[in-house]
Amino acid sequence: MLDENNDIWPKSITVDKNIVSVLSQSTYQNFPRALKELITNSYDADAKSVTIDIDLDTETVVIEDTGRGMSDKDFEFYLRIAGKTRRKEDNLTPLGRPIIGQFGVGFLSVFPFFRNYSIESKRAGTSTKLHATIPLFKYFSDQSKFVDVSSILINGGRVQDFSQSTRSFTKITLTGFNDLTKSFFYPRKQKTNRVDNSSVDNFDAIRKLQWILSDDLPIKFEDDRFNTMFDLHSNIPFEVHVNGEQLFRKVYGNEILETHKEPYNQIGKIKFKYAILTSRKSVKPYEARYLKVRNLNVGVGDKRENFSSSHGATRSRFHWLTGEVHIIEGMNELIKVSRDDFNFSTDYEELKDFLSRRLNYFSNRLEDEADIIREIKQTGKEFRVNNLSLLNPVNIQKKLQKLEEEGFDLKTESDNSKGVVINEENKEVIVSENLSSLEKHIIIKNKKYLVKSEHWDFKTSLFPACKLQDDTIIINSSYPLFTSKKFTDVFVKMHLMLLFNHRENKITEDVYLLLINEILEYYSDYK
């Protein structure tokens, strides 16, 4: 029997007065994040699929799910913003999913983005379909920042639809783009100083929305290894389709550098799983760099985190790192209403510190590996000297010895085209078999010379930068203009030119000394 109060229309949105101040400070100005809140409502309703259809011409967005649908009582609760919190025993949905929503503000999130909001919902086993409309344009203008949500009136009612008695669904139709929505779908092109222009912001609007949603929603990975790693092989599938394309969570590293210990790691009350990945190249798009934090498998915040790298300066391979952090217990009560961060927790600070240390460790590890690879490549280039520290094969041996001391097993392979591969998982270092006989040569005027590096006092020597002994060129590693890797080759060749011309008596010793002194003076800003 229906409650007589449920037949009273129009209804009004009601607000728990304890949450008004929170709502006034927590606006959803990010359109994808607001849309994510509606989709996670479908997840909490045990929907197995959600379809989102966007028509830019008619300024319409339709979100339809296959969830339980809403009864009259559910709808009253739906309109009760930040109403009574769910009891602990209700932290799981009827099908066993952990409930994501806890503040009751999810449906409000899209209000500032549209002029009209309509909803229809139906439960299986009944022919009654609930429907309602909210004229958002009356309460949200492009100029007003806040609105008294308790004054919003909702028109609607019930209709009988006997043709769909076995179906359950909720369908939300949003029409009329406000300025916030238009700015997302039709952004102004901004000039950027980024050399690497690989950014999600360069995607078209629909593709950008798909990317952001796929990075945030509780959907499966496209790489099934990570569904196993994070235990996402659920018996309750959850699929999201945007304009006909199914979304999958993407992975941006093909090598797992480190992951949690089974079944999870724990810091204080926080239980979490994680994976740090790399493909040994810059992660693109750059928004996919660093670690995505998820709480109950839903993305937290608008971007991935590097946790401020407080443990020493990060090295150049930091942007090679990507990965995931799944918080499975211990932080749900501390997540902010806007779901962009957590409130302060000493356990979470310790977790961030742990992750910062791991990112820095692997940044340094990849840089060490890159140093060795650069040296191997340099030995094969007989026309350039870039980094004097890489002229001595002993430097490679020291790096390899350090890895052995850390427990790595050193192996050699004749067909190792990469020169060196550090396998963190198996604690192996696989190097090219010619590593121990590395020598650097350079060709000058069709003659090959062996190149070595030594250091001497450039101020007192007749040859402050370079010396020639038979077929060996010796370069002074302490010479001031050789400290910049970017310009070392240029200055080395400049001094070799003077040295060879002096040896061939094409210039006098006085002219030679004058020129080498002039070089230091003219290029003093390169020291």
> Could you tell me if 287 and 159 lie in one domain?
no
Examine the pLDDT at 147 and tell me if it is beyond 60: no
Structure tokens at 336: 């902010």
The string of pLDDT tens digits covering residues 299-321 is 998 889 998 754 445 557 899 99
Q: What is the pLDDT of residues 115-136, one digit of tens each?
A: 999 999 999 988 899 999 988 8
Q: What is the DSSP letter of 293?
A: E
- Please provide the average confidence, as pLDDT, over all residues in the chain: 82
More confident residue, 282 or 163: 282
Residue 421 lies in a domain: no
Tell me: do 209 and 222 sit in the same domain. no
Q: Is residue 390 part of a domain?
A: no
Task: Tokens for 266, please give them.
Answer: 């724990």
Lowest mean per-residue pLDDT among 171-175, 276-280, 446-450: 446-450
pTM over 0.85: no
CB atoms within 10 A of CB 341: 15
- 180 with 272, same domain: the answer is no
Across the range 147-163, mean pLDDT stands at: 75
Q: CB–CB of 39/227 below 8 Å?
A: no
pLDDT tens string 476-516? 999 999 987 788 889 999 999 999 999 999 999 999 999 99
- pLDDT score at 23: 44
Report cis status (omega within 30 of 0) of the bond before 237.
Answer: no
**CATH (domain of 163):** 3.30.565
Instruction: Give domain status of residue 287, yes or no.
Output: yes
Helix (H) or strand (E) holding 49: strand 49-55
Q: Give the lowest-confidence range in 49-53, 214-218, 409-413, 423-427.
A: 423-427
Distance CA 77, CA 116 (A): 21
Map residue 457 onto helix, strand or coil.
coil
Shared domain check, 84 and 209: yes
If asked whether residues 116 and 231 sit together in one domain, one would say no
Contact of 231 with 259, CB cutoff 8 Å: no
Listed residue (353, 346, 397, 352) closest to 371, CA to CA: 397
Tell me how far apart the alpha carbons of residues 71 and 121 are, in angstroms, rounded to a whole number: 8
Cis-peptide into 10, omega within 30 deg:
yes
- CB atoms under 10 Å from CB of 86, counted, come to 15
Asked if residue 435 belongs to a domain, the reply is: no
Residue 430's pLDDT is what?
Answer: 79
* pLDDT tens per residue across span 342-365: 889 999 999 999 999 999 999 988
Residue range 72-108, pLDDT digits in tens? 888 777 766 544 444 445 688 898 888 887 655 667 7
Give residue-wise pLDDT tens across range 168-197. 999 999 999 998 899 999 988 765 555 455
pLDDT for res 316: 74
pLDDT reported for residue 460 = 92
Question: DSSP string covering 150-183, please?
Answer: GG-EEEEEEEE-GGGTT--EEEEEEEEE-HHHHH
Same domain, 222 and 259: yes
Of 176, 200, 215, which one is at a domain's C-terminal end?
Answer: 215
How many separate domains does the chain show? Answer: 3
For 480, phi then psi, to 5°, come to -60, -35
Total residues found in the chain within this entry: 527
Whether residue 386 contacts residue 488, with contact meaning beta carbons closer than 8 Å, is answered with: yes
Residue 376, in any domain of the structure: no
Residue 101 included in any domain: yes
242 and 196 inside one domain: no
Q: How far is residue 377's CA from residue 379's CA, in Å, rounded to a whole number?
A: 5
**Structural domain harbouring 501:** 440-527
How much of the chain exceeds pLDDT 90, in percent? Answer: 47
Q: Which of 39, 90, 91, 37 is nearest to 238 (CA)?
A: 39
Asked if 272 contacts 264 with a C-beta cutoff of 8 angstroms, the reply is yes
Write down the pLDDT at residue 369.
Answer: 75
Same domain, 224 and 344: yes
Is 66 a residue whose pLDDT tops 90? yes
pLDDT of 2 reads: 46
Confidence label for 110 from pLDDT (cuts 50, 70 and 90): confident
Q: What is the CATH number of the domain that holds 345?
A: 3.30.230
* Domain shared by 211 and 155, yes or no: yes
Identify whether the C-beta of residue 412 lies closer than 8 Å to the C-beta of residue 433.
yes
Residue 115 CB partners (closer than 8 Å, separation 6+) = 135, 136, 137, 175, 176, 177, 178
pLDDT confidence band for 417 (50 / 70 / 90):
low
The answer on 228 and 187 residing in a single domain is no
Q: What is the pLDDT of residue 373?
A: 65
User: What is the C-alpha to C-alpha distance for residues 226 and 275, in angstroms, rounded to an integer?
Assistant: 9
In a domain, 381, yes or no: no
Q: Across-strand partners of 450?
A: 441, 472
User: Both 342 and 469 in a single domain?
Assistant: no
What are the backbone dihedrals phi and psi of residue 81, each rounded to the nearest 5 degrees, phi first?
-65, 130
- CA 408/CA 55 separation, integer angstroms: 56
Choose one of 151, 180, 215: the last residue of a domain: 215
Q: What is the pLDDT of residue 386?
A: 72
Give the residue from 86, 116, 83, 105 showing the smallest Cα distance to 37. Answer: 105
Q: Which residues pair with 12 in a beta bridge?
A: 153
- Is residue 368 one of the residues assigned to a domain? no
Looking at the structure, tell me whether residues 324 and 235 fall in a common domain.
yes
- Amino acid 85: pLDDT: 46
- Highest mean pLDDT: which of 1-15, 222-236, 387-401? 222-236
Q: Is the per-residue pLDDT at 380 higher than 70?
A: no
